[in-house]
A and B are shown apart, each in its own frame.
Chain A
């Protein structure tokens, strides 16, 4: 996977075996993968680490997929969520659509399709984030802060946007 971006992926599903294999395959492709087995865990992880794409199962005990997605987006506004479900209900799909799901997929998904969608989601994330980041940087430079202040503000910004 040379010249391919390394995508930071958060997997959220209560089916642990599924995550085991899915993360192995994605890791093998060179991506960074974290698995969370519940919505609560996912939120906890997202508070500590930045991700580009989250793959969230819709039906989970505790906080369900729709709610998890909402919370994740609050913590990391640029994160793109792909919603997976074994259910055919479009009603919940619509609900997750309102929470700006990048895409809604019915389980089991074709792996190649999933990878293609993850890449698309990553691209969208990078683009929207970049635009916003540039705006913020310009705002800082215009703010009349001293060199030290600017450096500090940008470091803060890097932290918020998950840029190392």
Chain B
């Protein structure tokens, strides 16, 4: 019996130790679980084959898949380019140490999610590789900002190039303009040409003049877009400006029963901004509305202009019941040269110029549209 006692005490000691290990293990697991569940990063583990055996909660946020949906599948299948991911996995396997790379993943909703991925070999106590752990930081937003910056930069560069080209074109255009004008004079004075030929020549010179004028509109608009003119702020009545703009556009509405209604706030709406620039915005937006309405109703249709003053800004709403702008086009409407009109009908400059002006006076333009119902453009100008 005596020989049992040390064994019993040894057993007791081991039991105690085991219990404390259990607690430690429990704590460690809790700690890891806590990290796994609360980390903003998507953390996964695979076995040697690359099959997913763990997938953190945030993975759901980053890629849209729940744990149950992905466990057992190949991790590379989550990537946009599985072959590239496989290669990356191999590098990690060979290197042993952690490797990092920015990779594109396929979100459940079809979008692309970008992650900065770190892969680390998972080893057992003998140092044998039993799988891979990946920590993926979601950089989709960052990537989008970066892309936006590149795009804005490219647009600005495009604008500068376009202005340069416009300038170079203005000189030859001026020559064409004068030469065709001179030709028209010569034709009208010329003797010895038949009336049919004269008519043909007159028609041709007129056409040259008309097309030169068209080019001129484009180059002048382009130069206006890039020109960084100083703001000339002054006190003016927005209602008066709108009424003047509408009467200025009246000839455009001759013979067509398109209604332009105004629903202004009572009294004058005075503000301090650049009326010349804002007039250009109003002309462009009303002209667009007329085109949208015309495209749907022929020469019928309705445009309503409303004003609103809040604590911080003046809002001018231009509402039409025209064709509307499809969702997929809406994000492009403020892009330089973007147009859905047939060649010769739209330059893709009107809205970018408007947005540019709105920004210049510290405001912005927003757009709401329903296909087949109509569109409302709102100009927000800070007071």
**List of B residues within 8 angstroms of A144 by Cβ:** none
User: Is there contact, CB below 8 Å, between B171 and A15?
Assistant: yes
**List of A residues within 8 angstroms of B181 by Cβ:** 21, 25, 111
User: Is there contact, CB below 8 Å, between B173 and A106?
Assistant: no
Q: Which stretch (A30-38, A82-90, A116-124, A151-159) binds chain B?
A: A82-90
Is B12 part of the contact surface with A, judged by Cβ < 8 Å?
no
User: Is there contact, CB below 8 Å, between B227 and A24?
Assistant: no
**List of A residues within 8 angstroms of B212 by Cβ:** 108
**List of A residues within 8 angstroms of B175 by Cβ:** 15, 17-18, 21
Q: In the assembled complex, how far is the CB of residue A97 from the closest CB belonging to chain B, in whole angstroms? A: 13
**List of A residues within 8 angstroms of B362 by Cβ:** none
Q: Which stretch (B17-25, B38-46, B216-224, B273-281) binds chain A?
A: B216-224
A111 to B184, CA, bound (A): 12
Q: Which of A25, A87, A88, A106 is the most central at the interface, judged by chain B CB atoms within 10 Å of its CB?
A: A88
| B167 interface neighbour in A17, A25, A88, Cβ under 8 Å | A88
Q: In the assembled complex, how far is the CB of residue B336 from the closest CB belonging to chain A, in whole angstroms? A: 16
Is B205 part of the contact surface with A, judged by Cβ < 8 Å?
no
User: Is there contact, CB below 8 Å, between A107 and B173?
Assistant: yes
| B177 interface neighbour in A88, A106, A111, Cβ under 8 Å | A111
Residues 133-174 of chain B, each 1 if its beta carbon lies under 8 Å from chain A, else 0: 000000000000000000000000000000100111011011
Is A109 part of the contact surface with B, judged by Cβ < 8 Å?
yes
Is B229 part of the contact surface with A, judged by Cβ < 8 Å?
yes
Is B48 part of the contact surface with A, judged by Cβ < 8 Å?
no
Size class of the B contact interface (CB-based, 8 Å): 20 to 34
Q: In the assembled complex, how far is the CB of residue A82 from the closest CB belonging to chain B, in whole angstroms? A: 14
In the complex, number of A-B residue pairs with CB atoms less than 8 Å apart:
63
User: Is there contact, CB below 8 Å, between B230 and A87?
Assistant: no
Is A28 part of the contact surface with B, judged by Cβ < 8 Å?
yes
Is A22 part of the contact surface with B, judged by Cβ < 8 Å?
yes
Q: Which residue of chain A is the closest to B173 with respect to CB atoms? A: A108
User: Is there contact, CB below 8 Å, between B170 and A86?
Assistant: yes
Residues 34-70 of chain A, each 1 if its beta carbon lies under 8 Å from chain B, else 0: 0000000000000000000000000000000000000
Q: In the assembled complex, how far is the CB of residue A6 from the closest CB belonging to chain B, in whole angstroms? A: 18
Is B185 part of the contact surface with A, judged by Cβ < 8 Å?
yes
Residues 117-137 of chain B, each 1 if its beta carbon lies under 8 Å from chain A, else 0: 000000000000000000000
A88 to B226, CA, bound (A): 8
Given that A86-B171, A88-B223 are known contacts, is A25 also in contact with B229, CB under 8 Å in the complex?
no
User: Is there contact, CB below 8 Å, between A21 and B170?
Assistant: no
**List of A residues within 8 angstroms of B227 by Cβ:** 88-90
Is B31 part of the contact surface with A, judged by Cβ < 8 Å?
no
Q: In the assembled complex, how far is the CB of residue A34 from the closest CB belonging to chain B, in whole angstroms? A: 17
**List of A residues within 8 angstroms of B173 by Cβ:** 107-108
A21 to B185, CA, bound (A): 11
A15 to B177, CA, bound (A): 13
Interface residues of B in 215-241 (CB under 8 A from A): 216, 220, 223-224, 226-227, 229-230
A67 to B167, CA, bound (A): 21
User: Is there contact, CB below 8 Å, between A90 and B229?
Assistant: yes
User: Is there contact, CB below 8 Å, between B182 and A107?
Assistant: no
A90 to B223, CA, bound (A): 10
A84 to B163, CA, bound (A): 17
Q: Which residue of chain B is the closest to A16 with respect to CB atoms? A: B175
Can you name 8 extra interface pairs (CB under 8 A) apart from A28-B185, A88-B220, A106-B223?
A18-B178, A25-B178, A25-B182, A86-B167, A86-B171, A87-B167, A89-B227, A108-B212
What is the interface of chain A, defined by CB distance below 8 A to chain B? 15, 17-18, 21-22, 24-25, 28, 84, 86-90, 106-111
Give the 7 A-B residue pairs with the shortest CB-CB distance, closest first: A88-B223, A86-B170, A108-B174, A21-B178, A108-B177, A107-B174, A107-B170
